[in-house]
């Protein structure tokens, strides 16, 4: 593509965006966001973007709604400034877990967010590890989804004693995603079987499909929010004889006091990526952050040049076909 490549950052994760630009070897685009006393917002693009191929980086981080609206305003400003193509780079998409109508009279909010991006003027979306496969169909534009399994597995290969590891899905719904890790690391899997005793009760672990006795159990999930599911799973695995528990997650949401709870849990280490920034009160000595800025930079370069994005994570580490 002959159009000039430009990358702009919203306010949610500026260091991540700067890292992307360093990998691309370009300067970060200049823009200013003004917040008025009436809580309205104005975004001004401070350089020429006419006929440029523009990428706007904004993730779902607190304050979620303000960051989402800043992204929409920025996309609209870029469209008004005659940008040739606008890609919303959203490592973690807000409301992506609200992907089905599981209660009466509620919104499928993930689809609403997709519609808002389209209305604002986005031409495509670049993200990582959507919560569910069907969410990609909510977008009436191309969506490139990167996989956190690649960079996380690259890091896990550096750990010693992997011959004694077992990968664990915290529930049956995570089993398919767990396969990506099992194929890359050539490790066995186990699944925690959860059941509900009543409509108002939370699911509880009742059995384990697989064996973790005297092994290192590695819990794999797409995100960690409050940490409740992770800690419950770690406790259950300890009861089943696991020698140690590690965990991985692409998106470290770490709501409430998740970091504090992880510090006090039967978990030795948690590997996460930097799709979401960790604030000071979300830090933990047990948590190691793996940067995926290089992966996003490579994807942006491929989209800009018209090359395949899927080759980024399939060519080097092919997954077994079912």
Q: Is 194 annotated in the active site? A: yes
How many Cβ atoms from other residues are within 10 Å of residue 285's Cβ?
A: 9
Q: Please state the φ and ψ torsions of residue 52, each to the nearest 5 degrees.
A: -95, 155
Cα–Cα distance for residue pair 179/43, rounded to 1 Å:
43
Q: What residues pair up with 169 in beta bridges, in sequence order?
A: 191, 220
The catalytic residue among 100, 118, 176, 194 is: 194
Cα–Cα distance for residue pair 305/303, rounded to 1 Å:
6
Residue 102 CB contacts under 8 Å (≥ 6 apart), including other chains: none
Residue 185, both tokens? 């690391």
**C-beta separation of 92 from 60 below 8 A:** yes
Residue 173 CB contacts under 8 Å (≥ 6 apart), including other chains: none
The greatest distance separating any two alpha carbons of the chain, rounded to the nearest whole angstrom, comes to 62
Cα–Cα distance for residue pair 181/183, rounded to 1 Å:
5
Give the residue among 105, 22, 115 at the shortest CA–CA distance from 68: 115
Q: Hey, which residues are catalytic here?
A: 194
């Amino acid at each position: 593509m002959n159009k000039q490549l430009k990358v702009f950052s919203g306010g949610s994760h500026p260091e991540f965006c700067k890292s992307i630009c360093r990998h691309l070897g370009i300067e970060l685009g200049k823009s200013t966001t003004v917040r008025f006393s009436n809580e309205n917002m104005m975004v001004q693009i401070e350089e020429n973007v006419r006929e440029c191929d523009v990428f706007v980086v904004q993730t779902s981080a607190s304050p979620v709604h303000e960051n989402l609206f800043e992204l929409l305003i920025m996309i609209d400003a870029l469209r008004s400034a005659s940008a040739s193509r606008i890609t919303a780079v959203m490592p973690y998409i807000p409301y992506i877990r609200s992907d089905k109508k599981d209660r009466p009279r509620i919104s499928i909010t993930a689809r609403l967010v997709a519609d808002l991006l389209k209305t604002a003027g986005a031409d495509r979306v670049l993200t990582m590890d959507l919560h569910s496969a069907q969410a990609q169909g909510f977008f009436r534009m191309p969506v490139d989804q990167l996989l956190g399994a690649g960079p996380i597995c690259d890091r896990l290969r550096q750990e010693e004693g992997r011959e004694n590891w077992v990968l664990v899905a915290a529930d049956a719904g995570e089993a398919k995603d767990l396969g990506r890790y099992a194929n890359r690391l050539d490790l066995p899997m186990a699944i925690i079987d959860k059941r509900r005793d009543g409509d108002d009760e939370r699911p509880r672990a009742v059995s384990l499909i697989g064996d973790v006795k005297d092994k290192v159990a590695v819990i794999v999930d797409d995100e960690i929010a409050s940490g409740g599911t992770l800690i419950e799973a770690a406790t259950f695995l300890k009861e089943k004889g696991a020698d140690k528990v590690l965990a991985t997650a692409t998106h470290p949401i770490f709501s409430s006091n998740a970091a504090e709870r992880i510090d006090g849990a039967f978990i030795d280490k948690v590997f996460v990526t930097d799709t979401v920034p960790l604030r000071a009160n979300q830090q933990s000595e047990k948590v190691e952050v793996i940067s995926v800025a290089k992966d996003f930079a490579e994807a942006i370069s491929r989209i800009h040049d018209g090359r395949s994005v899927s080759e980024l994570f399939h060519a080097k580490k092919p997954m077994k076909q079912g």
